[in-house]
Protein backbone atom coordinates (compact mmCIF):
# COMPACT_ATOMS: atom_id res chain seq x y z
CA UNK A 1 0.00 0.00 0.00
CA UNK A 2 2.99 2.31 0.34
CA UNK A 3 3.42 2.65 -3.40
CA UNK A 4 -0.34 3.14 -3.77
CA UNK A 5 -0.36 5.95 -1.22
CA UNK A 6 2.63 7.63 -2.87
CA UNK A 7 1.10 7.41 -6.34
CA UNK A 8 -2.25 8.75 -5.17
CA UNK A 9 -0.55 11.47 -3.16
CA UNK A 10 1.40 12.83 -6.12
CA UNK A 11 -1.78 12.93 -8.20
CA UNK A 12 -3.65 14.80 -5.48
CA UNK A 13 -0.85 17.37 -5.19
CA UNK A 14 -1.26 18.16 -8.88
CA UNK A 15 -5.05 18.31 -8.54
CA UNK A 16 -4.89 20.61 -5.51
CA UNK A 17 -2.47 22.97 -7.24
CA UNK A 18 -4.62 22.96 -10.38
CA UNK A 19 -7.74 23.76 -8.32
CA UNK A 20 -5.90 26.59 -6.56
CA UNK A 21 -4.83 28.08 -9.89
CA UNK A 22 -8.37 27.65 -11.23
CA UNK A 23 -9.65 29.81 -8.39
CA UNK A 24 -7.18 32.55 -9.30
CA UNK A 25 -7.96 32.24 -13.00
CA UNK A 26 -11.72 32.43 -12.35
CA UNK A 27 -11.20 35.70 -10.51
CA UNK A 28 -9.10 36.97 -13.43
CA UNK A 29 -11.79 36.02 -15.94
CA UNK A 30 -14.43 37.88 -13.92
CA UNK A 31 -12.17 40.91 -13.54
CA UNK A 32 -11.40 40.96 -17.27
CA UNK A 33 -15.05 41.05 -18.33
CA UNK A 34 -15.96 43.46 -15.53
CA UNK A 35 -13.23 45.93 -16.50
CA UNK A 36 -14.54 46.22 -20.09
CA UNK A 37 -11.37 46.97 -22.04
CA UNK A 38 -13.36 47.11 -25.31
CA UNK A 39 -10.92 44.64 -26.85
CA UNK A 40 -11.42 43.21 -30.32
CA UNK A 41 -13.92 40.39 -30.68
CA UNK A 42 -11.34 37.68 -31.33
CA UNK A 43 -9.48 38.58 -28.11
CA UNK A 44 -12.71 38.30 -26.10
CA UNK A 45 -13.55 35.00 -27.82
CA UNK A 46 -10.11 33.60 -27.02
CA UNK A 47 -10.56 34.52 -23.35
CA UNK A 48 -14.02 32.91 -23.35
CA UNK A 49 -12.65 29.70 -24.91
CA UNK A 50 -9.93 29.60 -22.25
CA UNK A 51 -12.59 29.97 -19.54
CA UNK A 52 -14.69 27.11 -20.95
CA UNK A 53 -11.67 24.81 -21.29
CA UNK A 54 -10.53 25.67 -17.76
CA UNK A 55 -13.97 24.86 -16.33
CA UNK A 56 -14.30 21.53 -18.17
CA UNK A 57 -10.75 20.47 -17.38
CA UNK A 58 -10.75 21.53 -13.72
CA UNK A 59 -14.15 19.98 -12.97
CA UNK A 60 -13.00 16.78 -14.67
CA UNK A 61 -9.82 16.70 -12.60
CA UNK A 62 -11.79 17.10 -9.37
CA UNK A 63 -14.06 14.25 -10.49
CA UNK A 64 -11.01 12.09 -11.21
CA UNK A 65 -9.57 12.85 -7.78
CA UNK A 66 -12.89 11.93 -6.17
CA UNK A 67 -13.03 8.56 -7.94
CA UNK A 68 -9.43 7.62 -7.14
CA UNK A 69 -9.34 8.96 -3.57
CA UNK A 70 -12.91 8.29 -2.40
CA UNK A 71 -14.91 5.90 -4.58
CA UNK A 72 -12.03 3.52 -5.31
CA UNK A 73 -9.98 4.21 -2.20
CA UNK A 74 -7.70 1.32 -1.13
CA UNK A 75 -8.14 -0.34 -4.51
CA UNK A 76 -4.66 -0.16 -6.04
CA UNK A 77 -5.80 -1.68 -9.33
CA UNK A 78 -8.11 1.31 -9.92
CA UNK A 79 -5.10 3.60 -10.32
CA UNK A 80 -3.97 1.49 -13.25
CA UNK A 81 -6.88 2.56 -15.45
CA UNK A 82 -7.55 5.93 -17.03
CA UNK A 83 -10.53 8.18 -16.46
CA UNK A 84 -11.47 10.64 -19.24
CA UNK A 85 -9.90 13.74 -17.57
CA UNK A 86 -6.51 12.05 -17.73
CA UNK A 87 -6.13 11.94 -21.55
CA UNK A 88 -8.03 15.24 -21.85
CA UNK A 89 -5.18 16.99 -20.01
CA UNK A 90 -2.85 17.31 -23.03
CA UNK A 91 -5.79 18.46 -25.18
CA UNK A 92 -6.78 21.18 -22.72
CA UNK A 93 -3.15 22.21 -22.36
CA UNK A 94 -2.73 22.36 -26.15
CA UNK A 95 -5.76 24.65 -26.49
CA UNK A 96 -4.54 27.02 -23.76
CA UNK A 97 -1.02 27.05 -25.19
CA UNK A 98 -2.26 27.76 -28.73
CA UNK A 99 -4.32 30.77 -27.62
CA UNK A 100 -1.45 32.15 -25.54
CA UNK A 101 1.09 31.68 -28.33
CA UNK A 102 -1.15 33.31 -30.93
CA UNK A 103 -1.88 36.35 -28.75
CA UNK A 104 1.77 36.87 -27.84
CA UNK A 105 2.85 36.14 -31.42
CA UNK A 106 0.58 38.92 -32.67
CA UNK A 107 2.03 41.22 -30.04
CA UNK A 108 5.55 40.46 -31.30
CA UNK A 109 4.48 41.21 -34.87
CA UNK A 110 2.97 44.55 -33.88
CA UNK A 111 6.16 45.48 -32.03
CA UNK A 112 8.63 44.34 -34.69
CA UNK A 113 6.64 44.15 -37.94
CA UNK A 114 8.73 41.05 -38.68
CA UNK A 115 6.33 38.99 -40.79
CA UNK A 116 8.72 36.06 -41.21
CA UNK A 117 9.16 35.73 -37.45
CA UNK A 118 5.41 36.00 -36.89
CA UNK A 119 4.63 33.31 -39.46
CA UNK A 120 7.28 31.09 -37.88
CA UNK A 121 5.68 31.50 -34.43
CA UNK A 122 2.21 30.76 -35.81
CA UNK A 123 3.42 27.64 -37.62
CA UNK A 124 5.22 26.40 -34.51
CA UNK A 125 2.13 27.12 -32.40
CA UNK A 126 -0.10 25.12 -34.75
CA UNK A 127 2.37 22.21 -34.84
CA UNK A 128 2.57 22.23 -31.04
CA UNK A 129 -1.22 22.27 -30.83
CA UNK A 130 -1.54 19.34 -33.22
CA UNK A 131 1.04 17.34 -31.29
CA UNK A 132 -0.75 18.02 -28.00
CA UNK A 133 -4.13 17.02 -29.39
CA UNK A 134 -2.58 13.95 -31.02
CA UNK A 135 -0.99 13.03 -27.70
CA UNK A 136 -4.38 13.28 -25.96
CA UNK A 137 -6.20 11.26 -28.63
CA UNK A 138 -3.54 8.57 -28.57
CA UNK A 139 -3.61 8.46 -24.77
CA UNK A 140 -7.42 8.12 -24.95
CA UNK A 141 -7.01 4.84 -26.80
CA UNK A 142 -4.66 3.50 -24.11
CA UNK A 143 -6.91 2.53 -21.22
CA UNK A 144 -4.17 1.06 -19.02
CA UNK A 145 -1.74 3.62 -17.58
CA UNK A 146 1.10 1.11 -17.64
CA UNK A 147 0.90 1.19 -21.45
CA UNK A 148 1.28 4.98 -21.73
CA UNK A 149 5.03 4.73 -22.46
CA UNK A 150 3.89 3.63 -25.93
CA UNK A 151 3.18 7.30 -26.71
CA UNK A 152 6.65 8.38 -25.57
CA UNK A 153 7.71 9.66 -28.99
CA UNK A 154 4.80 12.06 -29.43
CA UNK A 155 5.09 13.25 -25.83
CA UNK A 156 8.75 14.13 -26.43
CA UNK A 157 7.90 16.01 -29.62
CA UNK A 158 4.97 17.87 -28.05
CA UNK A 159 6.60 19.02 -24.81
CA UNK A 160 9.92 19.81 -26.50
CA UNK A 161 8.21 21.97 -29.12
CA UNK A 162 6.14 23.67 -26.44
CA UNK A 163 9.18 24.54 -24.32
CA UNK A 164 11.09 25.74 -27.40
CA UNK A 165 8.24 28.01 -28.50
CA UNK A 166 7.75 29.40 -24.99
CA UNK A 167 11.46 30.20 -24.80
CA UNK A 168 11.46 31.83 -28.25
CA UNK A 169 8.48 34.07 -27.47
CA UNK A 170 9.90 35.03 -24.08
CA UNK A 171 13.33 35.93 -25.46
CA UNK A 172 12.00 37.87 -28.46
CA UNK A 173 9.45 39.81 -26.42
CA UNK A 174 11.96 40.60 -23.68
CA UNK A 175 14.67 41.79 -26.09
CA UNK A 176 12.16 43.85 -28.07
CA UNK A 177 10.79 45.53 -24.96
CA UNK A 178 14.23 46.12 -23.44
CA UNK A 179 15.20 48.07 -26.56
CA UNK A 180 12.31 50.44 -25.94
CA UNK A 181 13.74 51.63 -22.62
CA UNK A 182 14.72 55.28 -22.69
CA UNK A 183 15.88 56.01 -19.16
CA UNK A 184 12.70 57.97 -18.49
CA UNK A 185 11.23 56.44 -15.26
CA UNK A 186 7.48 56.52 -16.08
CA UNK A 187 8.01 54.99 -19.50
CA UNK A 188 10.48 52.38 -18.23
CA UNK A 189 8.06 51.33 -15.47
CA UNK A 190 5.48 50.40 -18.08
CA UNK A 191 8.07 48.53 -20.14
CA UNK A 192 9.29 46.60 -17.08
CA UNK A 193 5.75 45.41 -16.35
CA UNK A 194 5.40 44.18 -19.92
CA UNK A 195 8.78 42.40 -19.73
CA UNK A 196 7.72 40.72 -16.50
CA UNK A 197 4.58 39.42 -18.16
CA UNK A 198 6.59 38.09 -21.11
CA UNK A 199 9.07 36.28 -18.86
CA UNK A 200 6.53 34.73 -16.52
CA UNK A 201 4.43 33.44 -19.43
CA UNK A 202 7.28 31.33 -20.79
CA UNK A 203 9.18 30.57 -17.60
CA UNK A 204 6.53 28.92 -15.44
CA UNK A 205 4.97 26.94 -18.29
CA UNK A 206 8.41 25.71 -19.38
CA UNK A 207 9.36 24.60 -15.85
CA UNK A 208 6.22 22.50 -15.51
CA UNK A 209 6.50 21.11 -19.03
CA UNK A 210 10.09 20.02 -18.36
CA UNK A 211 9.03 18.49 -15.04
CA UNK A 212 6.27 16.63 -16.85
CA UNK A 213 8.67 15.36 -19.50
CA UNK A 214 11.37 14.24 -17.06
CA UNK A 215 8.93 12.44 -14.75
CA UNK A 216 7.29 10.72 -17.72
CA UNK A 217 10.65 9.17 -18.58
CA UNK A 218 11.86 8.39 -15.08
CA UNK A 219 8.56 7.18 -13.59
CA UNK A 220 6.26 6.41 -16.52
CA UNK A 221 4.01 4.03 -14.57
CA UNK A 222 3.10 6.49 -11.81
CA UNK A 223 1.15 9.73 -11.52
CA UNK A 224 4.30 11.72 -10.80
CA UNK A 225 4.29 13.41 -14.21
CA UNK A 226 0.61 14.30 -13.74
CA UNK A 227 1.65 16.45 -10.78
CA UNK A 228 3.41 18.72 -13.30
CA UNK A 229 1.22 18.12 -16.35
CA UNK A 230 -2.24 18.81 -14.90
CA UNK A 231 -1.71 22.51 -13.94
CA UNK A 232 0.10 23.63 -17.15
CA UNK A 233 -3.09 24.82 -18.86
CA UNK A 234 -4.03 26.93 -15.82
CA UNK A 235 -0.53 28.45 -15.85
CA UNK A 236 -1.03 29.55 -19.46
CA UNK A 237 -4.44 31.03 -18.62
CA UNK A 238 -3.12 32.78 -15.52
CA UNK A 239 -0.13 34.39 -17.19
CA UNK A 240 -2.02 35.41 -20.35
CA UNK A 241 -4.81 37.04 -18.35
CA UNK A 242 -2.20 38.79 -16.24
CA UNK A 243 -0.73 40.38 -19.37
CA UNK A 244 -4.22 41.60 -20.28
CA UNK A 245 -5.15 42.83 -16.81
CA UNK A 246 -1.85 44.63 -16.24
CA UNK A 247 -3.35 47.51 -18.21
CA UNK A 248 -5.68 48.28 -15.33
CA UNK A 249 -2.86 48.47 -12.77
CA UNK A 250 -1.03 50.98 -14.99
CA UNK A 251 -4.04 53.26 -15.33
CA UNK A 252 -2.59 55.97 -13.11
CA UNK A 253 0.47 56.41 -15.32
CA UNK A 254 -1.18 56.89 -18.69
CA UNK A 255 -3.79 59.09 -20.31
CA UNK A 256 -7.02 58.40 -22.18
CA UNK A 257 -5.51 59.37 -25.51
CA UNK A 258 -2.43 57.18 -24.91
CA UNK A 259 -4.65 54.21 -24.05
CA UNK A 260 -6.53 54.49 -27.33
CA UNK A 261 -3.39 54.98 -29.42
CA UNK A 262 -1.50 52.14 -27.79
CA UNK A 263 -4.49 49.77 -27.75
CA UNK A 264 -4.86 50.20 -31.50
CA UNK A 265 -1.13 49.79 -32.02
CA UNK A 266 -1.03 46.57 -29.99
CA UNK A 267 -4.13 45.27 -31.77
CA UNK A 268 -6.46 44.91 -28.79
CA UNK A 269 -9.10 47.30 -30.15
CA UNK A 270 -10.00 47.91 -33.81
CA UNK A 271 -7.98 50.53 -35.67
CA UNK A 272 -9.88 53.56 -36.94
CA UNK A 273 -7.35 54.02 -39.72
CA UNK A 274 -4.65 51.85 -41.25
CA UNK A 275 -1.57 51.75 -39.04
CA UNK A 276 1.77 52.73 -40.57
CA UNK A 277 4.77 50.40 -40.18
CA UNK A 278 6.04 50.49 -36.62
CA UNK A 279 9.36 49.86 -34.95
CA UNK A 280 10.37 48.68 -31.51
CA UNK A 281 10.41 52.29 -30.34
CA UNK A 282 6.65 52.59 -30.70
CA UNK A 283 6.01 51.54 -27.10
CA UNK A 284 8.24 54.31 -25.82
CA UNK A 285 6.59 56.79 -28.19
CA UNK A 286 3.13 55.98 -26.84
CA UNK A 287 4.24 55.99 -23.21
CA UNK A 288 6.12 59.25 -23.68
CA UNK A 289 3.01 60.82 -25.17
CA UNK A 290 0.94 59.56 -22.25
CA UNK A 291 3.33 61.10 -19.77
CA UNK A 292 3.10 64.39 -21.63
CA UNK A 293 -0.69 64.13 -21.52
CA UNK A 294 -0.62 63.54 -17.79
CA UNK A 295 1.48 66.64 -17.22
CA UNK A 296 -1.28 68.59 -18.95
CA UNK A 297 -3.77 67.40 -16.32
CA UNK A 298 -5.63 64.76 -18.33
CA UNK A 299 -7.13 61.57 -16.87
CA UNK A 300 -5.07 58.41 -16.93
CA UNK A 301 -5.81 55.13 -18.68
CA UNK A 302 -3.86 51.85 -18.95
CA UNK A 303 -1.34 50.80 -21.53
CA UNK A 304 -2.02 47.62 -23.40
What pLDDT tens digit does each residue of the chain (304 aa) get?
455 556 677 788 889 999 999 999 999 999 988 887 777 888 889 999 999 999 999 999 999 888 888 887 777 776 777 788 888 999 999 999 999 999 888 888 888 889 999 999 999 999 999 999 999 999 888 877 777 778 888 998 999 999 999 989 888 888 887 776 656 555 566 667 777 777 777 788 888 888 888 888 887 666 778 888 889 999 999 888 888 887 766 655 655 555 555 555 555 555 544 444 444 444 454 444 444 444 444 443 333 4
Q: What is the DSSP letter of 267?
A: T
The pLDDT, as a whole number, for residue 292 is 44
Please choose, from the candidates 13, 31, 35, 12, the residue with its C-alpha nearest in 3D space to the C-alpha of residue 23: 31
Q: What is the DSSP letter of 74?
A: T
What CATH number is attached to the domain comprising 151? Answer: 1.20.1070
Domain range enclosing 202: 2-253
Q: Is residue 270 part of a domain?
A: no
Question: What are the φ/ψ torsions at residue 75 (nearest 5 degrees)?
Answer: -120, 85
Q: Is residue 264 part of a domain?
A: no
Per-position DSSP letters for 269-290, written without gaps between them: S--SSPPPP--TTHHHHHHHHH
Cβ atoms 43, 100 nearer than 8 A:
no
CA dihedral 44, 133, 203, 267 (to 10 degrees): -30
The pLDDT, as a whole number, for residue 88 is 92
Q: Which residues, 6+ apart, have CB-to-CB distance to 303 below 8 Å?
A: 190, 194, 247, 250, 253, 254, 258, 259, 262, 286, 287, 290
The pLDDT, as a whole number, for residue 36 is 73
- For residue 45, count other CB atoms closer than 10 A to its CB: 12
Q: Is residue 263 part of a domain?
A: no
| 270-288: burial string, b at 16+ Cβ within 10 Å, e else | eeeeeeeebebebbbbbbb
Q: Is residue 260 part of a domain?
A: no
Q: What is the rounded CA–CA span in Å between residue 135 and residue 154? A: 6
The pLDDT, as a whole number, for residue 293 is 44
The pLDDT, as a whole number, for residue 264 is 56
Whole-model pTM: value is 0.79
219: left (phi over 0), alpha (psi -120 to 50) or beta: beta
Q: Is residue 262 part of a domain?
A: no
- For residue 103, count other CB atoms closer than 10 A to its CB: 19
Q: What is the rounded CA–CA span in Å between residue 79 and residue 10? A: 12
Q: What is the rounded CA–CA span in Å between residue 17 and residue 288? A: 41
The pLDDT, as a whole number, for residue 304 is 42
Q: Is residue 159 part of a domain?
A: yes
Helix (H, G, I), strand (E, B) or coil at 184: coil
The pLDDT, as a whole number, for residue 280 is 42
Please choose, from the candidates 127, 199, 191, 198, the residue with its C-alpha nearest in 3D space to the C-alpha of residue 159: 127
User: What is the largest distance, in Å, between two alpha-carbon atoms of the chain?
Assistant: 71
Q: Is residue 266 part of a domain?
A: no
User: In DSSP terms, which residues pair with 255 in a beta bridge?
Assistant: 300
- For residue 63, count other CB atoms closer than 10 A to its CB: 14
Number of domains observed in the structure of the chain = 1
The pLDDT, as a whole number, for residue 268 is 53
Please choose, from the candidates 198, 202, 199, 209, the residue with its C-alpha nearest in 3D space to the C-alpha of residue 232: 209
The pLDDT, as a whole number, for residue 279 is 41
Q: Is residue 292 part of a domain?
A: no
Amino acid sequence: MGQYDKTLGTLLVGLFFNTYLFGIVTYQFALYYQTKFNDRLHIKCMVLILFIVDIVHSVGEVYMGWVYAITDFNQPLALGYELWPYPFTPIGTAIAALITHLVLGERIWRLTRNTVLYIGIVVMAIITFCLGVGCGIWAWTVHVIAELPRIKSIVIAWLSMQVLLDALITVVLSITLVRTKSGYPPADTVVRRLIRGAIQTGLFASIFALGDLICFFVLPNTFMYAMFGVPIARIYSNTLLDTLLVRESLRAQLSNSAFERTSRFMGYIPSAVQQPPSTTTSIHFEVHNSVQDNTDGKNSTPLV
